[in-house]
Structure 1
Amino acid sequence: MRNKEGLVDDLITSIPGEWKFDEQVSQHFDTHVRKSVPLYEEVQKAVIEISEWFIRDNSVVYDLGSSTGETISLLLQKHSRKKNVRFIGVEESLPMIEIARKKCSSELVQFLQQHIEEINEFANIDLVLSLYTLQFLPLWKRKKVLQRIYNGLVEGGAFIFVEKIRAENSLFEDIWNDLYWDFKQENGLNEQQVIKKAQSLRGVLIPLSLTENLSLLSDVGFQCMDTFIKWHNFAGIIAVKMPSKNDIEENTYLNTDKNNKIQQ
């Protein structure tokens, strides 16, 4: 039967085109993600380390698609000596949030049960994270979300996101996908589970190439971007909101005018 439910991990089932972060997935997410996402631990470590350049006293940090609160928990530990740093996790799955709240029991942490595209406005944000989340948004919604993130960041604030990506060339697409499937099987998933997971993500996970992701960031205003990690068909990107050219010219003019008045 075409839509027969099948195992995508030992304790997780799904059917083609209907992958959901439901209670079943939530209970086993932390284990499953390490089997199916390359360099997961390394990505978490890199994000936490990079955050040191952007989180200071009174900072506001958003984690979009915060799942079980793993990243916020690590950030909370890393920046525990700083004053009044607020962490806001946005997650549509209530079972995920329930786990996250137990993992991050602090008055500085808030979890919102919400679709990330429903956040109409961010304001005075120092750091926004989106780890393996934007890839689940329909393409027509991504640019709107990115624009709101850009608008809401303070100057010098950063957006860090990690995505599954498409190769720039069809030859590499085949190579990267084969190596990705090898990775999953080396981590304990059997061939049938790998196939069932791929089927469950049909039309649900829609990756873009690295170039297309960078182009989207540029379209919404980011000018300072770099790739901080890459593994075959996965990549992590950081984008920093820099002062606009007009702001730089205005500040230069004001400083010059001030110096002229002092000299007079």
Structure 2
Amino acid sequence: MTDQPDRLFAKPLNPVPDFAFNQDVARVFNDMIRRSVPGYLLLVEQIGLLAARFAKPNSLLYDLGCSLGAVTFELRKIKASGARVIAVDNSAAMLERCRANLAFTAKDHPLLPVELVQADILQLKWQPASVVVINFTLQFIPPDQRLSLLQRIRQNLMPGGVLILSEKLRFTDESTEQLLTELHLDFKRKGGYSELEIAQKRDALENVMQPDSLQTHQQRLLQAGFSQVHPWFQCLNFGSILSVA
């Protein structure tokens, strides 16, 4: 499957539909996320290094909201005898391309086996795991269900297991929020997005994506039962947290 450039919001839309991970988005997702999330490629690479430190032999490694499989592929490269990767997404369109991407990249590398699962992560049947990754997915979960999801993850992590959570962040300090929002817009403009594209995508996401502050994430993770919560990555208003069971 050939990825296409992201031009989904290049023409005026009236009304602008809510954002959905459908076939149209799946076709352009690689281009979209690289031009929308500053530091994305470095973040994915570093997630692989972090996960490798905590992955245990004969355990499961979860990628929740796996999209096209970028994090899944990093997890597959980990050297942990008998370990398996379970990649979960609720979008059939995204999983179809994920499957094709993994098949293409698996040719020349000895990789961990992976199981692709189409499911709502809120309804997932869990198995004990040493690593769970949620990369820019919790922000699409209803806020009142986020804590219970994190509690289930914590309950199913092996001793010393970790959750790696990456999210767009909002900031309680108004001047910080304004500055980083403006810098993120500059990043998008530099990537070739027009003002129309930026505005229409913002409208599309307004009702479906609700970011939290770093402090809210930290408090929720501690409430869910994690013993250590470490912010370890930030690029503009995007960040990642390492939480240890």
State the match for 1:182 in structure 2. Answer: 186
Say whether the 8 Å CA contact 2:226–2:244 is kept in structure 1.
Answer: yes
SS of 1:104's partner is: helix
What TM-score do you get using the length of structure 2 for normalisation? 0.89
Inter-CA distance 66–234: structure 2 relative to 1 (3 Å threshold): same
SS of 2:172's partner is: coil
For 2:17 and 2:138, locate their aligned partners in 1 and report how far apart those are by CA, in whole Å. 17
What TM-score do you get using the length of structure 1 for normalisation? 0.83
Corresponding residue to 1:173 among 170, 174, 177:
177
* Aligned positions, number: 231
Q: Render the CA deviation track for 1:221-249: whole Å, top value 9, x for unaligned.
A: 112010110122111000000xxxxxxxx
State the match for 1:46 in structure 2. Answer: 46
State the match for 1:210 in structure 2. Answer: 214
Greater alpha carbon shift after TM alignment, 18-27 vs 53-62: 53-62
Q: Render the CA deviation track for 1:30-80: whole Å, top value 9, x for unaligned.
A: 11110001100110011011112111321210100000111111221x22x
* Unmatched runs of 5 consecutive residues or more in structure 2: 107-111
Structure 1 residue 82 corresponds to structure 2 residue 96: no
Matches within 5 A, 1:1-264: 9-11=6-8, 16=16, 18-76=18-76, 78-79=77-78, 81-105=79-103, 108-119=113-124, 121-241=125-245
Q: CA deviation at 1:11?
A: 4.2
SS of 1:30's partner is: helix
Letter in 2 for 1:40: Y
Letter in 2 for 1:209: S
Q: CA deviation at 1:123?
A: 2.8
State the match for 1:255 in structure 2. Answer: none
* Unmatched runs of 5 consecutive residues or more in structure 1: 1-7, 242-264
For 2:70 and 2:9, locate their aligned partners in 1 and report how far apart those are by CA, in whole Å. 20
Inter-CA distance 116–10: structure 2 relative to 1 (3 Å threshold): same
Say whether the 8 Å CA contact 2:164–2:241 is kept in structure 1.
Answer: yes
Letter in 2 for 1:165: L
Larger Rg computed on CA atoms:
1
Q: Render the CA deviation track for 1:66-116: whole Å, top value 9, x for unaligned.
A: 00111111221x22x532221001101101111111222478211111111
Q: Render the CA deviation track for 1:146-194: whole Å, top value 9, x for unaligned.
A: 0100000001000001000111301111111111111001011111101
- Give the RMSD, CA atoms, in angstroms: 1.8
